[in-house]
Amino acid sequence: MKAIVDCNSFYCSAERLFRPDLQHKPVVVLSNNDGCIVSRSDEAKAAGVGMAAPYFEAKPLIQQHNISVFSSNYNLYGDLSWRVMETLRMLLGDAGKVEVYSVDEAFIDLGYVQEEKLYETAMHIRQTVEQWTGISVSIGVAPTKTLAKLANYLAKKNKAATQCVYVLANRQQQVTAMQQTRVGNVWGVGWAYAQKLINLGITSAWELCTMSEEWASSNLGGVTGARLVRELNGLPSCEMEKPLVNKKMIATTRMFGQPVTNINDIKEAIATYTSRAAEKLRRQHSAARVISVFIVPREQNYEVNFRRGATVSSHVTLPTATSCTNELIKPAVQLVESLYEQGKVYKKAGVMLTGLEPDESIQGNLFLLEPQKYNRLLMSMMDNINFSMRDDVLKFAASGLTRDWKMRQELRSKRYTTRWEELYEVS
């Protein structure tokens, strides 16, 4: 048996953890740059606030219902996510596996638990996670990942009745649950496929379950569709995956805090993003051979449809794989010069590092000047200082000093668990 542990309105729950006065009150959290609503408490949903709604459009409704609003606080959310996942690992020990699926979700293996004790075990996990971390979770249990996600959907749909735990142990329970679930709420069925299925007369998860694997392969994306139908029939096709120790690609992307037209501002942003990506690269003891840069312009009729223009990108292959920030910034900034167009307004930029390889296997260079060989030691010193002091105490001048393009977070709460100067105060 497998289970999905899903944090309830995770960003909102994280904000409420250090604001007990907001318990049972409406709360929303905004996306990057305070653009859209990405997390809503149950009370905010009941007030009519839509998911992904632009903040400026929802503002009158938010003010009408006195809804608390926060900018995304990723330092806080990342730390609390780690605490939830570590709690799950401690609870399961060597008996079960934990597969972190996203910042607020994890699959766990409950194959060691007897069927009649599944609900009791899931409830114990839920209560312990909430007690140890302060984050409320919902748990769905079933023989496959897809059915577990479906069970979790039902657990969250009526929290009062289910107490945020739903178990689909036998086939009758599974059939009943699928009959109650719209096909668009099945894990793996996106909006486009949901519309296609409804047009074909398939409106529930159960009706999809009765289709053949051959039909699913032809109509739902090949092998992915066939696996989906197998999973709905209780046949595991998506096994628990081992955690990815080293990433195969590292990227840093951000929206600008305001529209950018100056090439120097874009260069500063790209240099900053490259520095951040290089830190991640060194953290996993890797080096990159290929660096890619992209910038995203704003459409001319942006005020009408709020869309961004087509992404423009380019890449360069380095002569030698490296993890040194200065050796990555130089080609990244040069790529900006080739991509930038005078007169355009830009909204977003990003850097991607690929062609990763272990840094200890980089081929040495007998013709390299001796002082350049100490770059790794310099990078290590910079990383240690920045990690202990925070906020980029040491940075390359190419990253800029004022950073007027930096992402807006005007309503961000304190980073209670990751900054000494922002620790929660108890009076």
pLDDT at 308 over 90: no
Query: Confidence class of residue 359 from pLDDT cuts 50, 70 and 90?
Result: confident
> 371 falls in which pLDDT band (50, 70, 90)?
very low
- Rounded (10°) angle between helices 325-339 and 263-283: 140
Listed by start position, the domains of the chain span: 7-74, 76-232, 250-399
Query: What's the mean pLDDT when you consider all of the chain?
Result: 90
Report the amino acid identity of residue 362.
I
pLDDT above 70 (res 366): no
Q: Is the pLDDT of residue 372 over 70?
A: no
Q: Which helix (H) or strand (E) holds 176?
A: helix 171-179
Longest CA span, the chain: 72
pLDDT at 94: 78
- CA dist., res. 76 & res. 78, Å (int): 6
Does domain 250-399 fall under CATH 3.30.1490.100? My reply is yes
| pLDDT higher than threshold 80 for residue 300 | no
Which distant-in-sequence residues (6+ apart) come within 8 Å of 381 by Cβ? none
Mean pLDDT across 305-334: 86
Q: Is the pLDDT of residue 305 over 70?
A: no
C-alpha to C-alpha distance for 192 and 108, rounded to whole angstroms: 29
Residues 85-122 pLDDT 10s: 999 999 998 777 899 999 999 999 998 899 999 999 99
pLDDT over threshold 70, residue 127: yes
Local structure of 132: helix, strand or coil: helix
CA distance 13 to 23: 9
230-244, 349-363, 364-378: segment of lowest average pLDDT: 364-378
CATH number listed for the domain at residues 7-74: 3.40.1170.60
Task: Measure the CA–CA gap between 10 and 13, rounded to whole angstroms.
Answer: 5
